[in-house]
Amino acid sequence: MGLNAIISLNGIAAPLWHRVAQVVKRKNNIRWSAYTTDYRADRFFDQHADFYQYCLSDNTMAEWCETSNEEIDFAYLRQKEKEMGVSFWSLYYRDRRLSQSILGMDYATMKLKSLYDRDHLLRIFQHRTKKTEEFLEHVRPDFIVMFSSLSSIGTCLLYYLAKAKGIKVAILDSARLQDLYLFTDRYDDFPKIEQCSAYMKEAEKILDAYTNTGHFPLHYINDLIHTSSRLRTYWNIMRESWEARRLTYHYAASLRHFVWFKVKEKLRPLTDRTHFEKPLPDGKFIFFPLHFEPEVSLLQYAPYWTNQLETLSHIARSLPCDISLVVKEHPVMVPFRTSDYYRQISEHPNVHLVSSKLSAFQIIQKSIGTVTISSTAGWESMLLQKPVLVLGDVFYRHFPWSIPIESPKQFYTLLRELDDWIPPSREVIVKCIANILALKPFHFKFFKYEKHPELLTDKAVDELCDHLISFVL
C-alpha cells in the first residue's frame, strides 16, 4: 500500500511543486492530493487533474463564502481555536489580502482595509475550517508538503489543523546560509541535532567568511529581487488584478490606480529625503532595521509587531539616557515609503535615521546591540557576538544568547541590562551554525525556479525529492 500525501500548489510555483510530486510518486508510490492557493494554481491543476486524487481549492471556498449566510457556531470555532492553539483573528491579520484587500505585488505600508464585517469574517473562518477538516478526513494524509510562507488564512488553517491532528508537515525553508534549503516541521524554528561535531569546521569557514568580509551571502534574497524584469513585474501586477476582479476579498486595481501607484514609486526616490537622515552617532547606540512590508517577516513571524512606527516608538521611549537608536530603511522599501513616514521617525530626538545605502555590517559592528522583529540583520548581529532583542517568532529567537521580547514593558529593563550582557563564545556560535548544517541542507534556488521552472534541472529536483523523502519517511 502506498502513502497518501497533500502538496500545496501555490501560485506561480505550482509547476515546480507538481514536478516534485511526480518524482516522489515515481520513487515511492505516493498518492497525491492537492491544495491550490489561487487562480493560477487552479488553472495549472485543471491541466493535471488526472494526477491527483482530490483537490481543495482556496478560490472555491472563497467564492462560497461570498454569498454564505451560514449560522455562526461559536462553540465550534472556540473548540477549533483550542485545538490549534491559535486564534482565528491572528490568522486573519496574517492574510494581507483578507485584512488589507491588496494584491500580492502591490506593496506599501500596511493599512487595514477589509471588505467584510465581523460576522462575514467569522463565517469565512468557519466554512474554511470545516472544508479543510473534511479534506483532511477524506484524504487521510500521512504527510503534507508546504512552503515556509504561511501567508494566507487557507495555508495557515491547513498547517495548524494538520498539527492538531498529528499529521506530519514538511515545510521547505531557507537555512539562512548561502542558497541552502532544508525541510522542517515548524515555520519558526529548526530541529536541534545533538551530534553536529562533524560540521564544526565547515561552520567555522562560514562564520569566518562573514566576519572577515561583511558579506552575508543569502542567495534567496537576490533571487527574490532579481529574477524578473521590471516590464514583466508590471505585467504580472496588471494580470493579477484582472484575474482577481471576480474573486472574494481581492482588491482589483483599476488601470488608473496602477498607473498612479507606479508614478509615485518612480517619484518618491527623486524627492529630497536626506534632510531626514543623520550620520551614525558618536556615542552608544542600538540598531533597529526596518522590514520589507507587507510580508511574512511581519505578518507571519510577528503578528503583534506589524506596526513598525509604533514598535520604534516603544524602543525610543525605553532607551537609557546615554543610548541612541539607529534606524536603517530596507533598501527595497525606499520607493514605497512616503516622506511623512520618515518625518515621523526623525521627530524622535534620540533616533538617528541613517541612509539605506549604509552597510548593515558597519552599523552592527559599531552598535552595542540590535533590536529586531525578524530581520536577517538580527542573525548577522548574532554571528558578530552582539546582543539581539528578538520580537518575532524567527528561528534565531531560540538560540541560547538571544533575548526574546514578549511585551513593550520589557524594553527598558532589558536595554538597561545590556552593559552587563556576556557575549557567547565563538564555539557556541559555530555550534549553532553546525546544527543547521547537520540538518543536511541542500543547494536550491527556490525563487529563481519558482518564476522560471524551465531552469530546474533533473539533478536539482531529484536532490530536493530525496531530502523530502528522507524527512517524511
pLDDT digits (tens, 9 = 90+) for 274-295: 667 888 998 999 999 999 887 7
CA distances from 377 to 277, 312, 329, 388 (A): 20, 16, 12, 10
pLDDT bin (cut points 50, 70, 90) of residue 256 is low
Phi, psi torsion values for 470, nearest 5 degrees: -60, -35
The residue-averaged pLDDT of 128-133 equals: 96
Q: State yes or no: pLDDT of 424 exceeds 90.
A: yes
pLDDT score of 275: 65
Predicted local distance difference test score (pLDDT) of residue 243: 54
In angstroms, the Cα distances linking 416 to 237, 319, 360, 369 are 47, 8, 23, 12
**pLDDT at residue 263, rounded to an integer:** 66
Q: Is the pLDDT of residue 171 over 60?
A: yes
For 396-419, the DSSP string reads GGGSTTEEE--STTHHHHHHHGGG
Contact criterion met (CB below 8 Å) for 205 and 469: no
* pLDDT of the residue at 150: 84
| Mean per-residue pLDDT over the chain, rounded | 85
Q: Which of 266, 314, 341 is nearest to 110 (CA)?
A: 341
pLDDT digits (tens, 9 = 90+) for 189-243: 888 887 888 999 999 999 999 988 887 656 555 544 444 444 455 555 555 555 5
C-alpha grid cell for residue 445? 534556488
Looking from the CA of 100 toward its CB, the CA atoms found within 13 Å total 23
HSE (side-chain half, CA atoms, 13 Å) at 23: 19
String of DSSP letters for 135-178 = HHHHH--SEEEEES---SHHHHHHHHHHHHTT-EEEEEEE-SST
Phi and psi torsions of 355, nearest 5°: -65, 140
* pLDDT recorded at residue 393: 92
Angle (deg, nearest 10), helices 39-47 and 58-67: 120
Please give the pLDDT value at position 306.
86
Q: Is the pLDDT of residue 7 over 90?
A: yes
Q: State the cell numbers at 288.
A: 533597529
pLDDT in tens, 383-393: 999 999 999 99
CA 367 → CA 185, 263, 358, 362, 431, distances in Å?
A: 35, 37, 14, 9, 24
Compute the distance between CA of residue 53 and CA of residue 432 in angstroms, rounded to an integer: 41
Reported as a pLDDT band with limits 50, 70 and 90, residue 134 is very high
CA 77 to CA 100: how far, in whole Å? 23
